[in-house]
Structure 1
Amino acid sequence: MGSTLPEAIRPVRYAPPPGATGEIELTSLARMRVRGGPHEFIAPQRLDFDLLIRVESGSTTHTVDFTGYPLEPGDLVWVRAGQVQQWGAIDDIEGPVFLFTPSAIDTGTWELIRSAGVVTPNHWTAATVVGTAAAAALDAAQATAAATSAPSTADIRDAAAARALAAVLLLLVLAEPEGSGHRLPTHEVFVWFRDELEASFRTRHKVADYAARLGYSTRTLNRLARENTGLSAKQLIDERVVLEAKRLLAHGSDPVARIAGQLGFDDPSNFSKYFQHRTGTTPAAFRDRFRPSTESPR
């Protein structure tokens, strides 16, 4: 892993070690600690790659976008590119880790994952995956990625590792965590809306803007949103804007006025009212919850 100079949320970019080939790296938590050093795992991080952790021993809590997941042996954690994570006591757990760029997995696999359900989880307990096809596929992916090969056949080994890892991700989508309930199949148009929302939430806050962009009516987008999530299209837009606002407030140091501009608000006071209406607290108060011992820039 490698990082750049600090930004609002510290980005961590994929930087394979010397000699590594392809866009998939199999390593371990122990090697990551050595490579990153003692300060690498303290601050929140926004990854530009995916991280798949298999806990083999120990326990801790790993936080992804404000949700803390208690980890025990046999658990899996999948942090996706763009999400904000915070390590717990990384010294207390051991296990293998896959680091891979989104482009390492074929487009068809990502399309299947996006269309399989509304939300892909970040955490699977041991009870959910041990003894399943997902666990067997992960064993195979680890063996494939760890296999040695001559330079002339490295591309074949890398291709095999990519396909094996893709199988793991697809099988994890099928291995629903306990209590998650059945996820309905997702309509293609809703997938388009969700993808466009992820790309444009900083500048488009109205359902009509997305409807015009996709060539469907606002009524259609609202119907599909409710069928797939129970929320209206506007609620989904607000949910995504608020998530990014929370990330920037909790993990960054930019003033609230600058964050408002980054999220497409012309007036900081309008952003503050928007945030308070949807969260029940002001941006400054939300930030203070995460920095009780320091003065928060307003």
Structure 2
Amino acid sequence: MADRSMQDGDGIKTFPFPVDQSLSGVGMQVGPMGPGHTWHTDAPLERVHRIDFHVVMLFSGGPVNHMIDFAAYEVSAGDLLWIRPGQVHRFSRTAGYRGTVLTMQPGFLPRATVEATGLYRYDLPPLLRPEPDELTALHHSLAQLEREYVDTTTLPPGVHTAVLQHSLTAFLLRLADLAARSARPGPDQADTAFTRFREAVENGFATNHSVSAYADALGYSRRTLVRAVRAATGETPKGFIDKRVVLEAKRLLAHTDMPIGRVGAAVGFPDAANFSKFFHQHTDSTPAAFRAELH
């Protein structure tokens, strides 16, 4: 099969959702993990790569170590991993991946459902450890989704897709509730101001580091934005932006051969000295030292 990955400017391959592997061409897949099964035939699973779709893995075996955005997660039976579009990740070399994997193409669910299920809540932990009763409910919900997914003959295509969307929404609502309770407690984290700010930062962090600029673009006062971001994350808007910039800089330093000056420019610092100062301030390491530690 041809390599359908996209080589980003940072040299990290991004793999698109494999529509041609979905039954009836719908925007989701659900099936077993393990030898002989893969969510993407082109992806070098043991090398760092990005995906532009959602992956939820519910484990029945393990343990395995899975890297997501520079954090290593040890996952065992009964745990879940939720990987979101754009995140850099890598599978471990062990053969311990057992369970069920769900993949979903962005746009498969309506926006109201996306908001309700926190699909783009990058601040939430990717590793989830449900209690036994929660795990049982998730297993049942995912099994029902898989039954609907493989049943491509009893319903017309449009009705089949609608049933899948409803079944998927039910599973994701359970998952979102678990993820929200696994995060640090706080007020309603689905706050619209924070949601819009998070999306704006994700789209603009490479060029825009100004809280006031984001507030103006979104039509909020700076004070409103500060309250919304602090309630959702415990951070200031500036801290949230800087954290995203540092993450991207680490990705580029670790997984590409881009010169440090180009890495700085790619995250909004045309001046290499300013980038080094910023990076050191937030990591206690220079960009060169950070890169050297990983090689």
Same-fold call, TM > 0.5?
A: yes
Greater mean deviation of Cα atoms: 251-260 or 201-210? 251-260
Greater mean deviation of Cα atoms: 69-78 or 238-247? 69-78
Q: Following TM superposition, by how much is the alpha carbon of 1:132 offset from its aligned partner in structure 2, in angstroms?
A: 4.8
| 1:4 alignment partner AA | S
Q: What is the DSSP-based 3-state SS (H/G/I as helix, E as strand, rest coil) of the residue aligned with 1:105?
A: coil
Q: What is the DSSP-based 3-state SS (H/G/I as helix, E as strand, rest coil) of the residue aligned with 1:194?
A: helix
Distance in 1 separating the partners of 2:219 and 2:40: 48
Compared with structure 1, are the counterparts of its residues 120 and 18 closer, same or farther at alpha carbon in structure 2 (3 Å cutoff)?
closer
Distance in 1 separating the partners of 2:22 and 2:170: 26
Structure-2-length-normalised TM-score: 0.87
Cα deviation code 1:134-175 (max 9, x no counterpart): 33322211221122326x723322321222112211211111
The partner residue of 1:13 within 9, 12, 16 is: 16
The partner residue of 2:138 within 127, 134, 140 is: 134
Instruction: Say whether the 8 Å CA contact 2:61–2:77 is kept in structure 1.
Output: yes
Compared with structure 1, are the counterparts of its residues 129 and 244 closer, same or farther at alpha carbon in structure 2 (3 Å cutoff)?
farther
Q: What is the DSSP-based 3-state SS (H/G/I as helix, E as strand, rest coil) of the residue aligned with 1:91?
A: coil
For residues 1-298 of structure 1, the aligned pairs below 5 Å read 3-4=4-5, 6-7=7-8, 8-17=11-20, 20=23, 21-29=25-33, 30-33=35-38, 36=41, 40-89=44-93, 91-114=95-118, 119-127=123-131, 130-149=134-153, 153-176=156-179, 180-186=183-189, 187-291=191-295
RMSD: 2.7
Instruction: Say whether the 8 Å CA contact 2:130–2:178 is kept in structure 1.
Output: no
5+ residue gaps in structure 1?
A: 292-298
Q: Following TM superposition, by how much is the alpha carbon of 1:116 offset from its aligned partner in structure 2, in angstroms?
A: 11
Structure 2 counterpart of 1:296: none
Distance in 2 separating the partners of 1:115 and 1:77: 13
Instruction: Say whether the 8 Å CA contact 2:18–2:40 is kept in structure 1.
Output: no
Q: Following TM superposition, by how much is the alpha carbon of 1:246 offset from its aligned partner in structure 2, in angstroms?
A: 1.0
Instruction: Say whether the 8 Å CA contact 1:134–1:175 is kept in structure 2.
Output: no
Instruction: Say whether the 8 Å CA contact 1:115–1:191 is kept in structure 2.
Output: no
Q: What is the DSSP-based 3-state SS (H/G/I as helix, E as strand, rest coil) of the residue aligned with 2:65?
A: strand
Distance in 2 separating the partners of 1:214 and 1:80: 24
Cα deviation code 1:221-244 (max 9, x no counterpart): 223222322211111110111111
Distance in 1 separating the partners of 2:39 and 2:230: 47
Greater mean deviation of Cα atoms: 16-25 or 197-206? 16-25
Instruction: Say whether the 8 Å CA contact 1:129–1:135 is kept in structure 2.
Output: no
5+ residue gaps in structure 2?
A: none
Distance in 2 separating the partners of 1:15 and 1:149: 22
Q: What is the DSSP-based 3-state SS (H/G/I as helix, E as strand, rest coil) of the residue aligned with 1:82?
A: coil
Q: What is the DSSP-based 3-state SS (H/G/I as helix, E as strand, rest coil) of the residue aligned with 2:78?
A: coil
Compared with structure 1, are the counterparts of its residues 17 and 227 closer, same or farther at alpha carbon in structure 2 (3 Å cutoff)?
closer
Instruction: Say whether the 8 Å CA contact 2:62–2:96 is kept in structure 1.
Output: yes
Distance in 2 separating the partners of 1:35 and 1:205: 35
Compared with structure 1, are the counterparts of its residues 227 and 180 closer, same or farther at alpha carbon in structure 2 (3 Å cutoff)?
closer
Instruction: Say whether the 8 Å CA contact 1:44–1:85 is kept in structure 2.
Output: yes
Runs of at least 4 residues off by over 4 Å: 115-118, 128-132, 176-179
Instruction: Say whether the 8 Å CA contact 1:275–1:283 is kept in structure 2.
Output: yes
Compared with structure 1, are the counterparts of its residues 254 and 32 closer, same or farther at alpha carbon in structure 2 (3 Å cutoff)?
farther
Greater mean deviation of Cα atoms: 134-143 or 193-202? 134-143
| 1:274 alignment partner AA | F
Greater mean deviation of Cα atoms: 43-52 or 22-31? 22-31
Instruction: Say whether the 8 Å CA contact 2:58–2:99 is kept in structure 1.
Output: yes
Instruction: Say whether the 8 Å CA contact 2:81–2:127 is kept in structure 1.
Output: yes
Instruction: Say whether the 8 Å CA contact 2:53–2:103 is kept in structure 1.
Output: yes
Compared with structure 1, are the counterparts of its residues 82 and 34 closer, same or farther at alpha carbon in structure 2 (3 Å cutoff)?
closer
Give identity over the alignment, percent.
30
| 2:254 alignment partner AA | A
Structure-1-length-normalised TM-score: 0.86
